[in-house]
Structure 1
Amino acid sequence: MLDETKRRILRTASALLLSGALALTLAHAGRAAPAVGPAATRTAAGSVDSIIELITHRNPGLVSYQAHARLDIRQLNFPYLHPVLNGTEYYTSPGFTVFDFPHTPSYLKGITKVEGAVYEAHRWKRCYDITFRTEPEAYVMHMVPKIRGEVSALDVTVEKNSGDLQHFDWHYHNSGDGISLTQYYTIVNGYSVVTLQHSDVTIHHIRARIVGTFENFKYNVTVPMPTATPSDPAHQCDN
Protein backbone atom coordinates (compact mmCIF):
# COMPACT_ATOMS: atom_id res chain seq x y z
CA MET A 1 0.00 0.00 0.00
CA LEU A 2 1.37 3.43 -0.91
CA ASP A 3 2.28 5.67 2.02
CA GLU A 4 1.05 9.27 2.00
CA THR A 5 4.37 10.74 0.82
CA LYS A 6 4.51 8.50 -2.27
CA ARG A 7 0.84 9.10 -2.92
CA ARG A 8 1.37 12.86 -2.80
CA ILE A 9 4.36 12.67 -5.17
CA LEU A 10 2.43 10.51 -7.61
CA ARG A 11 -0.45 12.97 -7.58
CA THR A 12 2.00 15.77 -8.27
CA ALA A 13 3.77 14.02 -11.14
CA SER A 14 0.47 13.09 -12.73
CA ALA A 15 -0.94 16.59 -12.42
CA LEU A 16 1.93 18.32 -14.20
CA LEU A 17 0.85 17.62 -17.75
CA LEU A 18 -2.80 18.33 -17.01
CA SER A 19 -2.21 22.07 -17.05
CA GLY A 20 0.68 22.02 -19.45
CA ALA A 21 2.87 23.09 -16.51
CA LEU A 22 1.51 22.99 -13.00
CA ALA A 23 5.11 22.27 -12.10
CA LEU A 24 5.39 25.91 -11.08
CA THR A 25 3.26 25.27 -8.02
CA LEU A 26 3.02 21.52 -7.50
CA ALA A 27 6.50 20.12 -8.09
CA HIS A 28 8.82 19.93 -5.11
CA ALA A 29 12.28 19.71 -6.65
CA GLY A 30 14.45 20.29 -9.70
CA ARG A 31 17.78 21.27 -11.17
CA ALA A 32 19.04 24.81 -11.53
CA ALA A 33 19.15 25.94 -15.14
CA PRO A 34 22.54 26.66 -16.72
CA ALA A 35 23.30 30.33 -17.20
CA VAL A 36 22.50 31.74 -20.61
CA GLY A 37 25.66 32.90 -22.41
CA PRO A 38 26.22 36.52 -23.42
CA ALA A 39 25.35 35.85 -27.06
CA ALA A 40 21.96 34.58 -25.98
CA THR A 41 21.03 37.35 -23.58
CA ARG A 42 20.73 40.34 -25.91
CA THR A 43 17.12 41.36 -25.34
CA ALA A 44 15.31 44.44 -26.52
CA ALA A 45 12.00 44.97 -24.75
CA GLY A 46 10.29 45.42 -28.09
CA SER A 47 11.63 42.08 -29.32
CA VAL A 48 10.26 40.25 -26.30
CA ASP A 49 6.99 42.10 -26.81
CA SER A 50 6.86 41.02 -30.46
CA ILE A 51 7.31 37.36 -29.53
CA ILE A 52 4.56 37.60 -26.92
CA GLU A 53 2.38 39.37 -29.49
CA LEU A 54 3.01 36.51 -31.93
CA ILE A 55 1.92 33.96 -29.31
CA THR A 56 -1.20 35.78 -28.13
CA HIS A 57 -2.50 36.47 -31.65
CA ARG A 58 -1.81 33.06 -33.15
CA ASN A 59 -5.47 32.03 -33.49
CA PRO A 60 -7.57 35.07 -34.50
CA GLY A 61 -11.24 34.54 -33.76
CA LEU A 62 -10.71 31.74 -31.24
CA VAL A 63 -12.25 32.69 -27.90
CA SER A 64 -12.59 29.26 -26.31
CA TYR A 65 -12.79 25.56 -26.99
CA GLN A 66 -13.41 22.24 -25.34
CA ALA A 67 -11.89 18.92 -26.35
CA HIS A 68 -11.77 15.32 -25.22
CA ALA A 69 -8.51 14.74 -23.34
CA ARG A 70 -6.79 11.41 -22.75
CA LEU A 71 -3.83 11.26 -20.40
CA ASP A 72 -1.61 8.15 -20.34
CA ILE A 73 0.64 8.26 -17.26
CA ARG A 74 3.44 5.69 -17.05
CA GLN A 75 5.30 5.69 -13.74
CA LEU A 76 8.76 4.41 -14.65
CA ASN A 77 9.71 3.68 -11.02
CA PHE A 78 6.41 1.91 -10.35
CA PRO A 79 5.47 0.13 -13.61
CA TYR A 80 2.38 -1.33 -11.97
CA LEU A 81 1.00 2.23 -11.72
CA HIS A 82 -0.18 3.12 -15.21
CA PRO A 83 -3.37 5.16 -15.01
CA VAL A 84 -5.10 6.32 -18.17
CA LEU A 85 -7.41 9.28 -17.57
CA ASN A 86 -10.21 10.41 -19.86
CA GLY A 87 -11.91 13.75 -19.49
CA THR A 88 -12.32 17.21 -20.96
CA GLU A 89 -9.96 20.10 -21.63
CA TYR A 90 -11.44 23.61 -21.57
CA TYR A 91 -9.46 26.51 -23.04
CA THR A 92 -10.14 30.24 -22.76
CA SER A 93 -8.13 32.78 -24.77
CA PRO A 94 -5.43 33.98 -24.29
CA GLY A 95 -4.26 30.82 -22.52
CA PHE A 96 -6.26 29.72 -19.47
CA THR A 97 -6.95 25.96 -19.29
CA VAL A 98 -9.10 23.73 -17.12
CA PHE A 99 -8.78 19.93 -17.18
CA ASP A 100 -11.67 17.91 -15.80
CA PHE A 101 -11.13 14.18 -15.22
CA PRO A 102 -14.21 12.87 -13.38
CA HIS A 103 -12.87 9.35 -12.78
CA THR A 104 -9.38 8.94 -11.31
CA PRO A 105 -7.69 6.19 -9.26
CA SER A 106 -7.76 6.62 -5.50
CA TYR A 107 -4.08 7.62 -5.30
CA LEU A 108 -4.80 10.49 -7.72
CA LYS A 109 -7.69 11.78 -5.65
CA GLY A 110 -7.67 15.55 -5.63
CA ILE A 111 -6.64 16.21 -9.24
CA THR A 112 -9.97 15.58 -10.93
CA LYS A 113 -10.10 19.26 -11.90
CA VAL A 114 -6.95 21.31 -12.51
CA GLU A 115 -6.57 24.92 -13.61
CA GLY A 116 -3.49 26.32 -15.33
CA ALA A 117 -2.36 29.63 -16.80
CA VAL A 118 1.15 28.90 -18.04
CA TYR A 119 0.04 29.56 -21.64
CA GLU A 120 -1.06 33.11 -20.79
CA ALA A 121 1.92 34.75 -22.45
CA HIS A 122 0.62 38.26 -21.76
CA ARG A 123 1.47 37.67 -18.05
CA TRP A 124 5.04 36.54 -18.62
CA LYS A 125 6.74 39.95 -18.42
CA ARG A 126 5.05 40.60 -15.09
CA CYS A 127 6.17 37.25 -13.70
CA TYR A 128 9.61 36.69 -15.26
CA ASP A 129 12.82 38.40 -16.29
CA ILE A 130 13.02 37.32 -19.93
CA THR A 131 15.90 36.89 -22.35
CA PHE A 132 15.86 34.96 -25.60
CA ARG A 133 18.00 33.56 -28.36
CA THR A 134 17.10 33.17 -32.00
CA GLU A 135 17.40 29.81 -33.74
CA PRO A 136 16.79 29.13 -37.46
CA GLU A 137 13.12 28.23 -36.96
CA ALA A 138 12.33 29.26 -33.39
CA TYR A 139 12.84 31.66 -30.52
CA VAL A 140 13.95 30.15 -27.21
CA MET A 141 12.82 32.29 -24.30
CA HIS A 142 14.70 31.95 -21.01
CA MET A 143 12.45 33.14 -18.19
CA VAL A 144 13.59 33.57 -14.59
CA PRO A 145 10.83 34.08 -11.98
CA LYS A 146 10.89 37.53 -10.39
CA ILE A 147 9.69 36.04 -7.11
CA ARG A 148 11.81 33.14 -5.91
CA GLY A 149 10.07 29.80 -5.66
CA GLU A 150 10.92 26.18 -6.38
CA VAL A 151 11.30 26.86 -10.12
CA SER A 152 14.61 28.52 -11.02
CA ALA A 153 13.87 29.06 -14.72
CA LEU A 154 11.52 28.17 -17.55
CA ASP A 155 12.68 27.80 -21.16
CA VAL A 156 10.01 28.05 -23.86
CA THR A 157 10.55 27.29 -27.55
CA VAL A 158 8.30 29.36 -29.83
CA GLU A 159 7.98 28.59 -33.55
CA LYS A 160 8.98 31.72 -35.48
CA ASN A 161 6.17 31.88 -38.02
CA SER A 162 3.16 30.42 -36.22
CA GLY A 163 3.82 31.32 -32.58
CA ASP A 164 3.24 27.69 -31.58
CA LEU A 165 4.55 26.85 -28.10
CA GLN A 166 6.56 23.82 -29.13
CA HIS A 167 8.55 22.96 -26.02
CA PHE A 168 8.81 23.80 -22.31
CA ASP A 169 11.64 22.98 -19.90
CA TRP A 170 11.23 23.65 -16.18
CA HIS A 171 14.41 23.89 -14.11
CA TYR A 172 14.44 23.82 -10.30
CA HIS A 173 16.72 24.95 -7.50
CA ASN A 174 17.01 21.47 -5.97
CA SER A 175 19.41 19.13 -7.71
CA GLY A 176 18.36 16.22 -9.89
CA ASP A 177 14.79 16.94 -10.98
CA GLY A 178 13.30 18.46 -14.08
CA ILE A 179 10.26 18.52 -16.34
CA SER A 180 10.03 18.75 -20.12
CA LEU A 181 6.91 19.14 -22.23
CA THR A 182 6.76 18.88 -26.04
CA GLN A 183 3.59 19.86 -27.91
CA TYR A 184 2.42 18.96 -31.41
CA TYR A 185 -0.10 21.11 -33.26
CA THR A 186 -2.67 20.28 -35.93
CA ILE A 187 -4.98 22.51 -37.95
CA VAL A 188 -8.47 21.36 -36.92
CA ASN A 189 -11.38 23.14 -38.60
CA GLY A 190 -9.29 26.22 -39.26
CA TYR A 191 -7.54 26.60 -35.89
CA SER A 192 -4.07 25.45 -34.83
CA VAL A 193 -4.52 23.43 -31.64
CA VAL A 194 -2.45 21.02 -29.56
CA THR A 195 -3.46 17.45 -30.38
CA LEU A 196 -0.50 15.61 -28.79
CA GLN A 197 1.76 16.24 -25.78
CA HIS A 198 4.79 14.30 -24.52
CA SER A 199 6.18 14.97 -21.06
CA ASP A 200 9.05 13.56 -18.99
CA VAL A 201 8.87 14.22 -15.27
CA THR A 202 11.47 13.63 -12.56
CA ILE A 203 10.39 14.65 -9.07
CA HIS A 204 11.83 13.35 -5.78
CA HIS A 205 13.28 10.32 -7.60
CA ILE A 206 9.86 9.61 -9.08
CA ARG A 207 10.08 9.34 -12.87
CA ALA A 208 7.08 9.44 -15.17
CA ARG A 209 6.46 9.57 -18.90
CA ILE A 210 3.15 11.12 -19.85
CA VAL A 211 1.34 11.27 -23.19
CA GLY A 212 -1.68 13.50 -23.67
CA THR A 213 -3.95 13.36 -26.71
CA PHE A 214 -6.77 15.77 -27.59
CA GLU A 215 -9.62 15.42 -30.08
CA ASN A 216 -13.28 16.29 -30.80
CA PHE A 217 -12.72 20.04 -30.57
CA LYS A 218 -15.70 22.37 -30.17
CA TYR A 219 -14.87 26.04 -30.68
CA ASN A 220 -16.20 29.23 -29.10
CA VAL A 221 -18.41 27.42 -26.63
CA THR A 222 -19.18 28.22 -22.99
CA VAL A 223 -16.36 26.95 -20.77
CA PRO A 224 -15.59 27.18 -17.02
CA MET A 225 -14.52 30.67 -15.98
CA PRO A 226 -11.05 31.27 -14.54
CA THR A 227 -10.70 31.57 -10.79
CA ALA A 228 -10.22 35.22 -9.82
CA THR A 229 -6.55 36.25 -9.84
CA PRO A 230 -5.30 36.83 -6.29
CA SER A 231 -4.37 40.40 -5.39
CA ASP A 232 -1.06 39.25 -3.88
CA PRO A 233 1.54 39.50 -6.70
CA ALA A 234 3.32 36.45 -5.29
CA HIS A 235 0.32 34.33 -6.24
CA GLN A 236 -0.53 35.94 -9.57
CA CYS A 237 2.43 34.09 -11.08
CA ASP A 238 1.86 30.72 -9.40
CA ASN A 239 0.96 28.98 -12.66
Structure 2
Amino acid sequence: MVTQSIKLISLVAALSVMGAMPAPSLVSVMSPDAAAVVDRMADRNPTLQSYRTRVHVDIRMLNFPFLAPKLDGTSYYKRPDTYVVVFDRMPGYARGFQRLFDDVGSPRAWEKTENISLAGTAVIGGRPMIVLRLTKKIHSDILDHTLAYVDAASYALMRMEWYYTSGGKISMAQQYRSEGAYSVLSQQHGIIDIPHVRAVADATYGAYETNVPLRLGTTP
Protein backbone atom coordinates (compact mmCIF):
# COMPACT_ATOMS: atom_id res chain seq x y z
CA MET A 1 0.00 0.00 0.00
CA VAL A 2 2.87 2.38 0.85
CA THR A 3 4.59 1.58 -2.46
CA GLN A 4 1.35 2.13 -4.38
CA SER A 5 0.83 5.51 -2.70
CA ILE A 6 4.39 6.62 -3.50
CA LYS A 7 3.93 5.76 -7.17
CA LEU A 8 0.63 7.59 -7.47
CA ILE A 9 1.97 10.66 -5.67
CA SER A 10 5.03 10.69 -7.97
CA LEU A 11 2.83 10.53 -11.06
CA VAL A 12 0.46 13.27 -9.94
CA ALA A 13 3.33 15.56 -8.90
CA ALA A 14 5.22 15.15 -12.17
CA LEU A 15 2.17 15.71 -14.36
CA SER A 16 0.81 18.58 -12.30
CA VAL A 17 3.94 20.73 -12.46
CA MET A 18 3.71 20.84 -16.26
CA GLY A 19 0.93 23.40 -16.21
CA ALA A 20 0.54 24.37 -12.59
CA MET A 21 2.76 27.44 -12.46
CA PRO A 22 0.84 30.75 -12.33
CA ALA A 23 1.22 32.97 -15.37
CA PRO A 24 3.37 36.03 -14.58
CA SER A 25 2.65 39.35 -16.27
CA LEU A 26 5.95 39.35 -18.16
CA VAL A 27 6.82 39.80 -21.79
CA SER A 28 7.60 36.43 -23.34
CA VAL A 29 11.34 35.75 -23.65
CA MET A 30 11.81 34.38 -27.16
CA SER A 31 14.44 34.62 -29.85
CA PRO A 32 13.11 36.11 -33.13
CA ASP A 33 13.23 32.68 -34.78
CA ALA A 34 11.27 31.05 -31.97
CA ALA A 35 8.70 33.84 -32.04
CA ALA A 36 8.19 33.32 -35.77
CA VAL A 37 7.67 29.58 -35.27
CA VAL A 38 5.05 30.17 -32.56
CA ASP A 39 3.29 32.68 -34.84
CA ARG A 40 3.14 30.12 -37.66
CA MET A 41 1.85 27.45 -35.28
CA ALA A 42 -0.90 29.73 -34.01
CA ASP A 43 -1.93 30.65 -37.57
CA ARG A 44 -2.35 27.11 -38.90
CA ASN A 45 -6.17 27.37 -38.96
CA PRO A 46 -6.64 31.14 -39.32
CA THR A 47 -10.45 31.07 -39.55
CA LEU A 48 -10.92 28.62 -36.67
CA GLN A 49 -12.20 30.67 -33.73
CA SER A 50 -13.31 27.81 -31.47
CA TYR A 51 -14.11 24.12 -31.35
CA ARG A 52 -15.54 21.42 -29.13
CA THR A 53 -14.90 17.69 -29.45
CA ARG A 54 -15.19 14.53 -27.38
CA VAL A 55 -12.04 12.67 -26.37
CA HIS A 56 -11.48 9.15 -25.04
CA VAL A 57 -8.27 8.22 -23.21
CA ASP A 58 -6.98 4.74 -22.34
CA ILE A 59 -4.29 4.76 -19.64
CA ARG A 60 -2.25 1.69 -18.76
CA MET A 61 0.32 1.53 -15.98
CA LEU A 62 3.23 -0.77 -16.85
CA ASN A 63 4.26 -1.42 -13.25
CA PHE A 64 2.50 -2.04 -9.94
CA PRO A 65 -0.35 -1.28 -9.18
CA PHE A 66 -1.06 -1.87 -12.93
CA LEU A 67 -4.09 0.43 -13.02
CA ALA A 68 -5.82 0.98 -16.36
CA PRO A 69 -8.36 3.80 -16.12
CA LYS A 70 -10.45 4.82 -19.11
CA LEU A 71 -11.33 8.51 -19.30
CA ASP A 72 -13.91 10.35 -21.38
CA GLY A 73 -14.16 14.09 -21.67
CA THR A 74 -14.54 17.13 -23.88
CA SER A 75 -11.77 19.21 -25.43
CA TYR A 76 -12.43 22.94 -25.90
CA TYR A 77 -10.49 25.57 -27.81
CA LYS A 78 -11.11 29.29 -28.11
CA ARG A 79 -8.80 31.66 -29.97
CA PRO A 80 -6.27 33.00 -29.18
CA ASP A 81 -4.90 30.88 -26.35
CA THR A 82 -7.57 28.97 -24.44
CA TYR A 83 -7.38 25.18 -24.60
CA VAL A 84 -8.73 22.82 -21.97
CA VAL A 85 -9.80 19.20 -21.63
CA VAL A 86 -12.61 18.58 -19.14
CA PHE A 87 -13.05 14.93 -18.16
CA ASP A 88 -16.46 13.61 -17.15
CA ARG A 89 -15.08 11.66 -14.20
CA MET A 90 -11.52 11.67 -12.92
CA PRO A 91 -10.13 9.22 -10.34
CA GLY A 92 -8.04 11.04 -7.76
CA TYR A 93 -4.85 9.19 -8.70
CA ALA A 94 -5.28 10.16 -12.39
CA ARG A 95 -5.92 13.89 -11.99
CA GLY A 96 -2.45 14.80 -13.15
CA PHE A 97 -3.23 13.40 -16.60
CA GLN A 98 -5.45 16.40 -17.29
CA ARG A 99 -2.32 18.58 -17.13
CA LEU A 100 -0.66 16.36 -19.71
CA PHE A 101 -3.41 17.00 -22.26
CA ASP A 102 -3.90 20.67 -21.41
CA ASP A 103 -0.22 21.50 -21.79
CA VAL A 104 0.00 20.61 -25.49
CA GLY A 105 -3.04 22.65 -26.45
CA SER A 106 -2.03 26.16 -27.47
CA PRO A 107 1.39 27.63 -28.31
CA ARG A 108 -0.03 31.06 -27.48
CA ALA A 109 -0.60 29.83 -23.92
CA TRP A 110 3.08 28.85 -23.69
CA GLU A 111 4.03 32.50 -24.09
CA LYS A 112 2.46 33.28 -20.72
CA THR A 113 4.43 30.76 -18.67
CA GLU A 114 7.49 29.74 -20.68
CA ASN A 115 10.75 31.15 -21.99
CA ILE A 116 10.88 29.83 -25.56
CA SER A 117 14.01 29.44 -27.67
CA LEU A 118 15.03 27.66 -30.85
CA ALA A 119 16.85 24.43 -29.96
CA GLY A 120 17.68 23.16 -33.46
CA THR A 121 16.20 20.64 -35.87
CA ALA A 122 15.40 16.93 -35.85
CA VAL A 123 13.82 14.26 -38.05
CA ILE A 124 10.83 12.23 -36.86
CA GLY A 125 9.32 9.59 -39.13
CA GLY A 126 11.34 10.94 -42.05
CA ARG A 127 9.91 14.45 -41.62
CA PRO A 128 12.05 17.47 -40.68
CA MET A 129 11.13 19.12 -37.39
CA ILE A 130 11.89 22.46 -35.78
CA VAL A 131 12.71 21.96 -32.10
CA LEU A 132 11.70 24.55 -29.51
CA ARG A 133 13.01 24.55 -25.95
CA LEU A 134 10.68 25.73 -23.17
CA THR A 135 11.72 26.59 -19.62
CA LYS A 136 9.46 27.90 -16.87
CA LYS A 137 9.50 31.65 -16.23
CA ILE A 138 8.93 30.80 -12.59
CA HIS A 139 11.66 28.31 -11.68
CA SER A 140 10.58 24.73 -11.09
CA ASP A 141 12.58 22.32 -8.92
CA ILE A 142 10.75 19.41 -10.59
CA LEU A 143 10.59 20.18 -14.33
CA ASP A 144 13.93 20.99 -15.98
CA HIS A 145 12.79 21.80 -19.53
CA THR A 146 10.41 20.84 -22.33
CA LEU A 147 11.08 20.21 -26.02
CA ALA A 148 8.41 20.83 -28.66
CA TYR A 149 8.82 19.26 -32.11
CA VAL A 150 7.12 21.27 -34.86
CA ASP A 151 6.62 20.01 -38.42
CA ALA A 152 8.79 22.24 -40.61
CA ALA A 153 6.27 22.16 -43.47
CA SER A 154 2.88 22.42 -41.74
CA TYR A 155 3.93 23.96 -38.39
CA ALA A 156 1.83 21.34 -36.60
CA LEU A 157 2.97 20.35 -33.11
CA MET A 158 3.96 16.71 -33.57
CA ARG A 159 5.58 15.85 -30.26
CA MET A 160 6.39 17.23 -26.82
CA GLU A 161 8.90 15.90 -24.31
CA TRP A 162 9.07 16.95 -20.64
CA TYR A 163 12.41 16.38 -18.87
CA TYR A 164 12.46 16.23 -15.08
CA THR A 165 15.24 16.99 -12.61
CA SER A 166 14.74 13.46 -11.24
CA GLY A 167 15.87 12.02 -14.57
CA GLY A 168 12.30 11.14 -15.56
CA LYS A 169 10.73 11.90 -18.92
CA ILE A 170 7.20 12.18 -20.31
CA SER A 171 6.52 12.37 -24.05
CA MET A 172 3.40 12.98 -26.11
CA ALA A 173 3.15 12.28 -29.86
CA GLN A 174 0.28 13.68 -31.93
CA GLN A 175 -1.48 12.84 -35.20
CA TYR A 176 -3.83 15.05 -37.20
CA ARG A 177 -6.63 14.66 -39.71
CA SER A 178 -8.53 16.97 -42.04
CA GLU A 179 -12.05 17.84 -40.98
CA GLY A 180 -13.81 20.32 -43.23
CA ALA A 181 -11.44 23.20 -43.87
CA TYR A 182 -9.31 22.48 -40.81
CA SER A 183 -6.42 20.31 -39.70
CA VAL A 184 -7.42 18.97 -36.28
CA LEU A 185 -6.00 16.68 -33.63
CA SER A 186 -6.91 13.05 -34.21
CA GLN A 187 -4.83 10.88 -31.85
CA GLN A 188 -2.24 11.22 -29.10
CA HIS A 189 0.17 8.72 -27.58
CA GLY A 190 1.82 9.51 -24.26
CA ILE A 191 4.66 7.67 -22.53
CA ILE A 192 5.34 8.30 -18.83
CA ASP A 193 8.73 7.15 -17.53
CA ILE A 194 9.47 8.76 -14.17
CA PRO A 195 10.78 7.32 -10.89
CA HIS A 196 8.29 4.75 -9.54
CA VAL A 197 5.88 5.10 -12.49
CA ARG A 198 5.83 3.75 -16.05
CA ALA A 199 2.63 4.16 -18.06
CA VAL A 200 1.20 4.81 -21.51
CA ALA A 201 -1.83 6.88 -22.48
CA ASP A 202 -3.68 6.83 -25.80
CA ALA A 203 -6.28 9.44 -26.76
CA THR A 204 -8.69 9.50 -29.69
CA TYR A 205 -10.78 12.50 -30.71
CA GLY A 206 -14.31 12.45 -32.09
CA ALA A 207 -16.10 14.76 -34.53
CA TYR A 208 -15.37 18.47 -34.12
CA GLU A 209 -17.94 21.21 -33.71
CA THR A 210 -16.13 24.25 -35.08
CA ASN A 211 -16.70 27.99 -34.59
CA VAL A 212 -19.29 27.40 -31.88
CA PRO A 213 -20.07 29.81 -29.01
CA LEU A 214 -18.06 28.91 -25.91
CA ARG A 215 -17.88 30.48 -22.46
CA LEU A 216 -14.54 29.20 -21.24
CA GLY A 217 -13.56 30.71 -17.95
CA THR A 218 -16.99 30.06 -16.50
CA THR A 219 -18.64 26.89 -17.74
CA PRO A 220 -17.97 25.68 -21.31
| TM superposition score category, shorter chain reference | 0.7 to 0.9
In 2: Cα distance, 1:89 partner to 1:24 partner: 18
User: Whose strand proportion is higher, 1 or 2?
Assistant: 2
In 2: Cα distance, 1:215 partner to 1:111 partner: 22
Q: 2:115 aligns with which of 105, 108, 128?
A: 128
> Structure 2: where are the runs of 5+ without partners?
21-29
1:161 is matched by which residue type in structure 2?
A
Is 1:144 aligned to residue 131 of structure 2?
no
Q: Deviations over 1:1-60 (max 9, x none)?
A: 6765444445567xx5xxxxx55146xxxxxxxxxxxxxxxxx93322221111010001
Q: 1:48 aligns with which of 34, 38, 45?
A: 34
Structure 1 residues 226 and 77: CA distance shift in structure 2, 3 A: same
Structure 1 residues 9 and 145: CA distance shift in structure 2, 3 A: closer
Match of 1:88 in 2: 74
2:76 is matched by which residue type in structure 1?
Y
Describe how 1:1-239 pairs up with structure 2 within 5 A: 4-9=5-10, 11=12, 16=15, 23-25=17-19, 45-78=31-64, 80-105=66-91, 107-108=93-94, 116=102, 118-124=104-110, 127-135=114-122, 137-149=128-140, 150-175=142-167, 177-226=168-217
1:131 is matched by which residue type in structure 2?
L
1:133 is matched by which residue type in structure 2?
G
Contact in 2 for aligned 1:103/1:112 (Cα 8 Å): no
In 1: Cα distance, 2:34 partner to 2:192 partner: 28
**RMSD, aligned CA:** 2.9
In 2: Cα distance, 1:179 partner to 1:117 partner: 12
Aligned length: 201
Match of 1:29 in 2: none
Task: Quote how far apart the aligned CAs of 1:170 are.
Answer: 0.6
| TM-score with structure 2 setting the length | 0.77
In 1: Cα distance, 2:19 partner to 2:66 partner: 27
Contact in 1 for aligned 2:135/2:144 (Cα 8 Å): yes
Aligned-partner SS, 1:137: strand
Instruction: Pick which of 134-143 and 181-190 moved more.
Output: 134-143
In 2: Cα distance, 1:106 partner to 1:85 partner: 12
Report % sequence identity: 29
Match of 2:27 in 1: none
Contact in 2 for aligned 1:90/1:224 (Cα 8 Å): no
Contact in 1 for aligned 2:119/2:132 (Cα 8 Å): yes
> Structure 1: where are the runs of 5+ without partners?
17-21, 27-43, 228-239
In 1: Cα distance, 2:97 partner to 2:187 partner: 20
